Amino acid sequence: MKPRPRILLTNDDGIRAPGLKHLWSGLKDYADLYVVAPLIEQSAVGLGITIRAPLHIEEAEWFGHTPAWSVTGTPADCVKMALSVLLPSPPDLIISGINRGSNAGRNLLYSGTVGGVIEGVLRGIPGIAVSSVDMQKPNYEIAEKHLMKFAQYMLETPLPQGTLLNVNFPSTLPGVKGIRFARQGKGYWMEAPDKRCHPFGAAYYWLGAKHADFEEEVDSDMALLAQGYAAAVPVHVGELTDHAHLHASRDNFDKFFYSEEN
C-alpha cells in the first residue's frame, strides 16, 4: 500500500481561525497532517520573522488527534519551528490557509499566508497558499472541496524548484465556474490613512486600505476571479535576479563604476 503523504498546515489568521479548520477537513482523509500555526492573527506580515522576542511553542488540541502546535510568531516562524524543532522529518508538502481575504494580484507580497509557504519553498518543500477572496463573508467550503485535488496535483506533477502555487477562490458564489491556471494580477490594497487625535493632542493614523485597480490581462487571477473562476498562479521565488536587465546592462554598469575602482 502506498504510504499517505505528510502535509504541514499553517496560516496567518491564527490557530483558531475557521479557515484552518476547513483546510484540515479537506485533507484529513488524504494525508497525515501536522498543524503549526500562529497563536494570534499575523495577517500582512509577509515573510517576516521574529528576532527581538523569544518564540513560545505550545501543544494545541486538534480534531482527530492531529498533532498541532501554536507558535507566538509569524507564519514563517511557524514553518521554521516545524522543520527545525517539531516534525521528525520534512513534510512532503506545505499548505497555508484558508486565508480570510484575497491574496490575488500584488497582495501576495504582503501576505503571511504566502510567506509561510515561501519559507518552505526556499528549503525545497513544495507549497500551496489558499485564500477565499471575500474578507467579510468568506465561504471556505468552496475551497475545501478542492483541496485534495490540489494536493494530489502538487505531489504528482511537481512545480519547478523554487516555485509555489498561489490559489484564490471566489467566495460569494454557490460554487466556482472552474479552476484556471493563471498569471499574477496587478491589483492590490493600498493605504487610505485615517488621521485621528489622541486625547493629549498627538495625532495618529490608522493605515486604512483602498483597492488599487489596474487594467488586467484576461488570464490574470484578478480577471478570472471577477468572472467566478478560481485562479492558481505558479509564483517563482527561487531566483529573484532580473536576468534580462543584468545581461543587457552589465557593460554599461561596469563602465559607469569603473572610474571609482581605478
Instruction: For 4-56, list the strands marked E by DSSP.
Output: 6-10, 32-38
DSSP 86: I
pLDDT tens for each residue of the chain, 262 residues long: 789 999 999 999 999 999 999 999 999 999 999 999 999 999 999 999 999 999 999 999 999 899 999 999 999 999 999 999 999 999 999 999 999 999 999 999 999 999 999 999 999 999 999 999 998 989 999 999 999 999 999 999 999 999 999 999 997 767 789 999 999 998 877 777 898 998 888 898 888 877 778 788 899 999 999 999 999 999 999 999 999 999 999 999 999 887 656 5
**What confidence score (pLDDT) does residue 193 get?**
85
Around Cβ 98, how many Cβ atoms within 10 Å? 32
φ/ψ (deg, to 5) at 19: -60, -35
- Superfamily of domain 6-185+216-261 in the CATH hierarchy: Survival protein SurE-like phosphatase/nucleotidase (3.40.1210.10)
* The 32-38 sheet, strands edge to edge: 57-59, 68-71, 32-38, 6-10, 93-100, 127-132, 163-169, 230-236, 179-181
Burial of 231 (0-12, 13-18, 19+ CB in 10 A): buried
Can you give the pLDDT at residue 68?
Answer: 98
Ranges of each domain in the chain: 6-185+216-261
Interval 152-195: pLDDT, tens: 999 999 999 999 999 999 977 677 899 999 999 988 777 778 98
The C-alpha cell at 138 is: 468568506
User: Is the CB of residue 70 less than 8 Å from the CB of residue 37?
Assistant: yes
Cell of 75: 507564519
d(CA 57, CA 52): 16
Other C-beta atoms closer than 10 Å to the C-beta of 207 total: 11
pTM above 0.85, yes or no: yes
Q: What is the distance between the alpha carbons of residues 80 and 59, in angstroms, rounded to a whole number?
A: 16
